[in-house]
Amino acid sequence: MYKGVCRFRRTPFLDTFKALYMKKVLAALAFLVSLSAAHAQQRKPQLTMLTKVEHDFGNYHEKVPRSVVFVFRNTGDAPLVVGNIETSCGCTTAKVPRRVVRPGMKGYVRVYYSGNGFLPGNFKKTVNVSTNAAPQPLTLTIRGNYFPLD
C-alpha cells in the first residue's frame, strides 16, 4: 500500500546537481534577456524629410485658404510614432492621417492656413511635430503675403 513516501532518497549529490542545474538555467535566461534588451535598444526610428521643412505661399488673396503637405519617410528600423502637434497660431491647423509609420514607409503632415479676418501682409507660422525619432520636435514653417480683396 502506498503511504505517500518517496521511493527515492534525497542525497547531497542530487541537491548539488539541482542547484548547479538551476544556476546554469538562470544564467542562460539572464544572458538571453540581456541580448534581447541590447538588440531592442539598437532599433530606432529615423525621420527623413522628403520635402523642405519650409514652404512659401507667395502672394495671394485673403479669402483663399492655403494648404501644403510635408512628406517624410521612416528610414529607421522601428515604427515611427507621431505624437503631439502644436501650431503657433489659431489660424494654422495641422493633420496627420497616420500616427504610426512603419519602417520604410512614408507619412505626411498637411498644414492648413486661413488668414481670414487677420491683418493683411506678411506672415510666418510654425508647426512643431513631436515624434519618437528625436527628443526635439520637428519644426515646419509656412510663410507668405496675403492681401485683401478690393
Q: What is the mean pLDDT of residues 47-60?
A: 91
Model pLDDT, residue 60:
82
Beta-strand relationship, 100-101 and 106-113 = unpaired
Q: What is the mean pLDDT of residues 39-53?
A: 82
59: cell is 502672394
Model pLDDT, residue 49:
92
pLDDT in tens, 72-105: 999 999 999 999 999 998 889 999 988 899 999 9
Beta-strand relationship, 138-147 and 54-61 = parallel
Model pLDDT, residue 15:
63
Model pLDDT, residue 62:
73
Model pLDDT, residue 33:
75
φ/ψ of residue 20, rounded to 5: -65, -40
Average pLDDT, the chain: 82
pTM above 0.75, yes or no: no
Model pLDDT, residue 32:
75
Query: Please, are residues 113 and 65 in contact by the beta-carbon 8 Å criterion?
Result: yes
